Structure 1
Amino acid sequence: MVSWLTNPYIETVANYSVVVLSLVVFLAVFEVVTKYKNWEEISKGNLSVAMATGGKIFGIANIFRYSIEHNDTIIDMMAWGAYGFLLMLIGYFIFEFLTPRFRIDEEIQKDNRAVGLISMIISVGLSFVIGSGIG
């Protein structure tokens, strides 16, 4: 049984499955905290929402990349991935707080592409910073 668990093919499928499920859960959390409905806006062609959501997807996946690389067990990988997501979520709220001249969510919903782009870049950038600290 132990050789089953150490098989790299099985390990890859396990990591993949956990990350896909985590992406679904974490994107649902973002859906709750944003004022717009991501997939509804994307289906209407809102490029700003697509960029912001794509940045979140990349960010979460990148955090898990570091987590998989630095942890030996699925449980540790999940814990570090969830912790990284929490830090990314905090970063989202800080970004909203640090822009008092306008509301990030409202601008992204109005398809302000400059705000969508910077939101994407912040998510991607934070994921590298967060990932570098994962143990």
Structure 2
Amino acid sequence: MIELFDLVNVAIGVVLIIAIMLVGVFIFGRLTKFNDLEEIQKGNEAAGMYLGSKLLGLSIIVAMVSYNSLSWLSMISWSVIGMVILSLVYLLFEFLTPKFKVSDEIAQGNKAVARLLGAVIIGTSVVLGTVLM
């Protein structure tokens, strides 16, 4: 039987996950030279793929750390660490591709770059989530 305590825990978890995702959108958006949401609104599929990959990657991390966290504070802390590491992965990827600027390519709608970076982010998230568990 579902108890009130369980329902409250689920509600707290949902609110925290939404908050973590919103913070993630904000932080990830600050890394690029363009406004992710404006580009998506204009129909830039590459920007949508890129933002979607970042949020999926963050979701993977949050899911894995939530599974093993004993407290909400622990889940939030590990999620923030995951967010920081994903941000560093983006910056490293930008640095390791000196022949083109990732953010410029995505702003121009280059889906190939968005897919490649998305795969790197999601792959990193799976590995990172496993390590943070």
Q: Could you tell me whether the CA contact under 8 Å between 2:47 and 2:107 is conserved in 1?
A: yes
Query: Deviation per CA, 1:41-71, whole angstroms, max 9, x where unpaired?
Result: 0011100000000000101111100111011
User: Is contact 1:80-1:134 (8 Å) kept?
Assistant: yes
2-side partners of 1:130 and 1:9: how far apart? 29
Q: Quick one: distance in 2 between partners of 1:68 and 1:12?
A: 12
Give, in whole Å, the separation in 2 of the partners of 1:120 and 1:13.
30
User: 1:114 Cα shift?
Assistant: 0.2
Give yes or no for contact 1:48–1:112 (8 Å, CA) kept in 2: yes
Superposed CA offset, 1:73-108 (max 9, x none) = 100000011111111111111110110100000000
- Show structure 1 runs of 4+ deviating over 4 A: none
Who is 2:127 aligned against? 129
- Residue 34 of structure 1 corresponds to 32
User: Is the contact made by 1:70 and 1:134 (CA closer than 8 Å) also made in structure 2?
Assistant: no
Tell me how far 1:11 sits from its aligned partner.
1.6
Partner of 1:116: 114
Q: Report if the CA contact (8 A) 2:31-2:87 is conserved.
A: no
5+ residue gaps, structure 2: none
- Per-residue deviation at 1:121? 1.2
Identical positions, percent = 27
Over the residues paired in the alignment, what is the CA RMSD in angstroms?
1.2
Shift of 1:9: 2.2
- 2:98 corresponds, among 96, 100, 103, to 100
SS at 2:70 equivalent: coil
Alignment partners' CA distance in 2, 1:13 and 1:58:
21
Distance 2:14 2:117 in 1: 26
Q: TM-score, normalised by structure 2?
A: 0.93
SS of structure 1 residue aligned to 2:54: helix
Q: Unaligned stretches of 5+ in structure 1?
A: none
Tell me, in whole angstroms, the C-alpha distance in 2 between the residues paired with 1:51 and 1:119: 9
Give the count of matched residue pairs.
Answer: 131
